[in-house]
Structure 1
Amino acid sequence: MTEQQRAEEGPGPEPGETGRPEVTEETVEALVRSQLAKALGGKRGMVEAAVPTLTFTVSYIIASDLRLSIVLGVVAAVLLGVLRLVQRSSVQYVVTSLFGIGIAAVFAMRSGNAADAFLPGIIYNAVYAVVLGLSVLVRWPAIGLMIGPFIGHREDFTSWRENPAVVSLASKLTWLLVLPCVIRVAVQYPLWAAATYGEADTFAALGLSKVAMGWPLQVAAFAAMVWVLARGRTPLAERPADRD
């Protein structure tokens, strides 16, 4: 199309006049996507979360020494942390992993049952699923609480609840966070019970399921959330300061 033809046709429609508006920094979807990207931590964060658990599981399968396996798992997390410090990057995900394996060690050492190292994770996921599910049922979805300070009035972070579209979007996204937790409990609890009560030797399957259902399952949930966000165009409420 030539410049003359463009001039004759006049200016095109403004964004939002035809169809749905583009997702920009002024939409709820774009804001939530940016928050999820920060929470994910990238491929390296996923590896750092999996390595200590994988080290613990494999070493116990090989040596059947609970204390040694715990030590090796902790050492793996510490080495990852030292590498982060040397590179002057964030140790957030390493610290989280180290904290997790520390709690697992307490459970396993107290009972002497290696499978109990996975019990804290099962309990955590069960509680997490219940809390998130209740937050949706009472119309205070957890995702809404996360983005609340960035939406609506600065002096009232609960103002996002005045927009039914935002509450509906936050509820859908929160359910997508609940789903991985429910799947983990549904798969891992029977494996833990079988190993604990001597019904079957499911320790290896339990350890591998924890790794496979860790970040990979979380990434799948985040991918589903991104898909939901890509389909929506919920504008951010105008703030008082923006109208000045």
Structure 2
Amino acid sequence: MPMTPGQPDAAGAPQRAGDPRWTDQPEATSATAGATSATPGAPDDDEERLPSMAEQMAEQLGGWRGLVESSVPIAVFVVCNVIWALTVALWAAVGVAVGIAVVRLLQRRPIRHAVNGLFGIGIGALLAWRTGEERDFYLPGILYGIGYGLALLGSVVIRQPLVGWIWSVLVAGGRSEWRTDPVLIRTFNRLTVLWGVVWLLKVGVQAGFYVASMDTALGVSRLLLGYPPYAVLLAITIWVVRRVNRQRDDAPPLLATSA
């Protein structure tokens, strides 16, 4: 039976306004409270959040810091080679590359990009030091680029597009369901051809400067044709695959990250 304010309870104590015993309204249960606090349409905390385009690009390119760090040794070599001699430029480039790797290691940051850059710089420096030709500093990058471009185009010929496999490893946690989907196979074939053609074109420009012994132009083209085309191709790839997945409800979960 509900009580009114001021009416004594069984113990003789007067009831106060706000005491739940004198009101007819039932107390909210934990289930009701949880239901009222939930916002309709709110995302489930346990639902896996898909990485954005910017996050995926940053991961593959190493972020702005990775972009800068990978370009600094090349820029140092170009500048030092113009101002001083080849030997000074080689030591400066290698020293900067080593310094970047050490700083990343001391800061407990990922050193994958720094180690890759140091490896390429080291081989180029060794070749240039042995031949005395500054253009040989860029030769490993040119050869790697030709190999990458031919491998990309060759993977399409054998119906194993590399862009699809790289995507499945880096983004989809190793899942390869796209191999059973004709639409996605065609999509990755076309993207792989695009990557291969662009890769061979940019390496072709550098190879032309190499053959013509235009060392300064070769260094500048190495800087300008390094990451910028790669970033554009990566953005196009992410946009195309996302668009295909949005248009088809039965598409494999290529955008889901691995657990």
What TM-score do you get using the length of structure 2 for normalisation? 0.69
Question: Is the CA contact 1:180–1:218 (under 8 Å) kept in the aligned structure 2?
Answer: no
Q: 1:26 to 1:140 in 2, by over 3 A?
A: farther
Distance in structure 1 (CA, Å) of the matches to 2:120 and 2:230: 17
- Superposition RMSD on alpha carbons, in Å? 2.8
Q: Distance in 1 between matches of 2:167 and 2:238?
A: 15
Aligned residues: 203
Q: Secondary structure at the match of 1:232?
A: helix
Kept after mapping to 2: 8 A contact 1:104/1:120: yes
1:94 corresponds in structure 2 to: 114
Residues 1:38 and 2:53 are matched in the alignment: no
Cα 1:32–1:140 shift into 2, 3 Å:
farther
Q: Percent identity?
A: 34
Letter in 2 for 1:175: V
Q: What is the correspondence of 1:94-243 to structure 2 with a 5 Å cutoff? A: 94-148=114-168, 160-195=178-213, 202-233=214-245, 234=248, 235-237=250-252
Contact 1:132 1:178 (C-alpha < 8 Å) held by counterparts: yes
Poorly superposed stretches of 4+, deviation over 3 Å: 24-27, 30-37, 147-152, 157-160, 234-238
**Pairwise CA distance, 1:158:** 5.8
- Kindly name which structure, 1 or 2, has the bigger radius of gyration based on alpha carbons: 2
For residues 5-16 of structure 1, the aligned pairs below 5 Å read none
Unaligned 5+ segments in structure 1 are 1-23, 196-201, 239-244
Show structure 2 runs of 5+ residues with no match. 1-46, 254-259
- Asked if the contact 1:108/1:114 (under 8 Å) is kept, the reply is yes
Aligned-partner Cα distance in 1 for 2:57–2:182 = 22
* 1:162 positional shift: 2.0
Cα distance in 1 between the residues matched to 2:242 and 2:176: 24
**TM superposition shift of 1:101:** 0.4
Q: Which has the higher contact order (CA 8 A, sep 6+)?
A: 1
Partner deviation per Cα, 1:169-215 (whole Å, 9 max, x = no partner): 221222232233112222111101111xxxxxx21111011011111
Which is further off, 138-147 or 171-180?
A: 171-180
Q: TM-score, normalised by structure 1?
A: 0.73
Instruction: Report the Cα distance in structure 2 between the residues aligned to 1:237 and 1:100, rounded to whole angstroms.
Output: 37
Displacement of 1:135 in angstroms is 0.2
Alignment partners' CA distance in 1, 2:54 and 2:179 = 19
Q: Alpha carbons of 1:52 and 1:137: their partners in 2 closer, same or farther (altered >3 Å)?
A: same
**Cα offset, 1:31, TM superposition:** 9.9
User: 1:148: how far off?
Assistant: 4.5
